[in-house]
Amino acid sequence: MKEPTIKKTSGAFTLTCGVEVNIRATPDRIWALLTDAKGFPRWNSTVSSVEGEIREGERLRLRVPGTKRTFTPRVSGVVARERMIWTGGFAPLFKGVRMFELRAQKDGSTDFAMEERFSGLMLPLIKGSLPDFGPVFARYADDLKSEAERGPS
């Protein structure tokens, strides 16, 4: 089983972390997991709850373990079974953009990629207090891979 690949870059006003992994499941199967807000905490150990509907134009209320903070990204750029974007924060001070991408492969598997780009004038001041997203993203990808390859429940 191939491990997720983590990629990080950092600049004065930007910070990017991404993960990629091949999943032995169809884009349909993976998309169903990624867009089922209520089911997220069942398979994803990096998410405590997601309120709202994961579809174009919707605002989500996302909670993660280890913080009492609620994140409220807006969903955009939705192309079913291919990609979507979650955007949160307060530009130009601080903004987070998380992109999800699915690429079907000839062997029936799917390459999953997720990248988050943080930017803004406040980033240099808070960068040191942000967690290392690499292990969190790897766990997210592992959880998704395990659930998708397990098949429908």
- Are 128 and 37 in contact by the 8 Å Cβ rule? The answer is no
Task: State yes or no: pLDDT of 152 exceeds 80.
Answer: no
- pLDDT tens string 33-75: 999 999 999 999 999 999 999 999 999 999 999 888 899 999 9
3-state secondary structure the chain: CCCCEEEEEECCCEEEEEEEEEECCCHHHHHHHHCCCCCHHHHCCCCCEEECCCCCCCECEEECCCCCCEECCEEEEEECCCEEEEEEEECCCEEEEEEEEEEECCCCCEEEEEEEEEECCCHHHHHHHCCCHHHHHHHHHHHHHHHHHHCCC
Within a domain: residue 26?
A: yes
Give pLDDT tens digits for 125-145: 988 888 899 999 999 999 999
**48, part of any domain:** no
| 56 domain residue, yes or no | no
Say how many domains are in the chain.
Answer: 1
The pLDDT value recorded for residue 153 is 53
Structural domain harbouring 94: 5-36+78-150
* Cβ neighbours around 136 below 10 Å, total: 19
CATH number for position 30: 3.30.530.20
Least confidently predicted of 81-85, 122-126, 144-148? 122-126
Tens-place pLDDT, residues 88-102: 998 899 999 999 999
Whether residue 1 is predicted with pLDDT greater than 70 in this model: the reply is no
Q: pTM for the whole thing?
A: 0.93
The pLDDT assigned to 93 comes to 93
Q: Is residue 125 part of a domain?
A: yes
Mean pLDDT computed over 117-132:
91
